[in-house]
Amino acid sequence: MPVYEYKDLLLNIIEQDSEYFGYFEAAKEHKLVVKKCLDCDLLRGEPGASCPWCSSMRSEWHEVSGKGTIYSYQIIPHAILPGFRDWTPYPVVLVELDEQSGKPLEHDGLRITANLLDENMNPEHEENVAIGKRVNVVFQDMENGLTLPQFTLSDEEPAGAIWRYPNT
């Protein structure tokens, strides 16, 4: 049974976990995947056990580009989890992937939570974190075999205005 230790957390990613096991298996091969419905072809942000639009239980893991835009963010200066204390203040970002943005409804999108890391896989400086900035997926490989999808700032120009809370 795959149990990984990471930053003092025990992550139970078991084979019977049909919603999440494949996500982390793909990450080991440096692929970012989402679930794709085999009946209506729509992708979904949260893996889930059935399609929210057509209720089909038939799905496959579908590789996405790993490119996206920061949709929201938070900076955590006060870590609750002891293993994250040496990372503070660390950013956590909600990234909207390029695929299926604004579909099937206007405000829908495929959104993924991760840390925003710099080129050395350390937490990105707070002043560089902003809604609207472009990001790429990166894969954080651990010695114990676990790989976590993470994001890093891209060289691409943002499509629109960027925003971060002033003076923080």
Partner 1 sequence: MESALKDKYSIVGIGETDYTRGSGRSTRALAIEAIRNAVTDAGLKMQDIDGMLSYHGGDSVNSSTLAYDMGAQLNFYMDCSGGGSSTEALIGLAIGAIEAGMCETVAIFRSMNGYSQVRIGGTGSRASTPVSGPGLMTRPYGLASAVQSFAFSFTRHMMEYGVTSEDLARVKVAHSNHASNNPKALMKQRVTVDDVVNSRWIVRPCAHLLDCCLETDNATCIIVTSAERAKDLKQQPVYIRAVQGRGTKPGGDFHYQHGPISRVAGHYVGPRIFDLADLSHDDIDVTGCYDAFTYTVVLQFEAYGFCKEGEGKDYIKSGIVNLGDKRPNNTSGGHLCEAYTHGMNMVIENTRQLRGIVDDYCPDWQNGNHTYDYSEGGCRQVRNVNTTMNMGWASPATGSALILRR
Q: Interface residues with partner 1 (CB under 8 A)? A: 3, 6-7, 9-14, 17, 19-20, 23-24, 44-46, 52, 71-82, 84, 87, 89-90, 92, 94, 105-115, 126, 131, 148, 163-165, 168
- Report, in this order, helix, strand and coil percent for the chain, each rounded to 5: 10, 40, 50
x-or-dash string of contact with Zn ion, 56-95, rule CB under 5 A: x---------------------------------------
Helix (H, G, I), strand (E, B) or coil at 139: strand
Query: Tokens for 8?
Result: 């003092």
Cα–Cα distance for residue pair 125/130, rounded to 1 Å: 11
Q: Which among 38-46, 87-95, 126-134, 144-152 is the span making contact with Zn ion, rule CB under 5 A?
A: 38-46
CA 151 from centroid of its chain's CA atoms: 7
Shortest spacing between CB 60 and partner 1, in angstroms: 18
* C-beta of 59 vs 150, nearer to Zn ion: 59
Phi-psi region for residue 114, left (φ > 0), alpha (ψ -120 to 50) or beta? Answer: beta
Positions touching Zn ion (CB under 5 A) are 37, 39-40, 51, 53-54, 56
